[in-house]
């Protein structure tokens, strides 16, 4: 996995599983988080938006490319 972009308004994380040609690309934006009401529930989106967007994009990308490795690991409270 690698970070393609990380700002206070958008995070893009890409990943590819070894031996596979297909790359996954996940984008998380503040606009999407705001529409979902996430910043109101989690004050870290106000104080550390870049870190929060990157963390959510990374988690989503990991679930896409390595679900078997995560073995059904639950979502964090911030993601629900």
Residue 80 in any domain: the answer is no
pTM score: 0.83
Structure tokens at 17: 């599983």
Residue 71: per-residue pLDDT = 67
**Measured distance CA(33)–CA(17) in Å, rounded:** 27
The domain tally of the chain equals: 1
Q: Which residues of the chain are modeled with pLDDT < 50?
A: 80
Residue 8 in any domain: the answer is yes
Alpha-carbon Rg for the chain, nearest whole angstrom, is 13
| Contact status, residue 5 vs residue 11, Cβ threshold 8 Å | yes
> CA 21, 61, 64: angle at the middle one, nearest 5?
65
Closest CA to 44 of 31, 53, 36: 53
Range of the domain at 28: 2-73
Residue 66: per-residue pLDDT = 84
């Amino acid at each position: 996995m690698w970070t393609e972009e990380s700002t206070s308004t958008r995070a893009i994380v890409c990943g590819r599983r070894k031996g596979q040609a297909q790359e996954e690309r996940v984008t998380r934006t503040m606009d999407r988080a705001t529409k979902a009401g996430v910043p109101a529930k989690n004050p870290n989106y106000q104080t550390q938006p870049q870190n929060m967007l990157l963390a959510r994009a990374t988690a989503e990308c990991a679930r896409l490319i390595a679900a078997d490795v995560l073995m059904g690991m639950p979502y964090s409270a911030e993601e629900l």
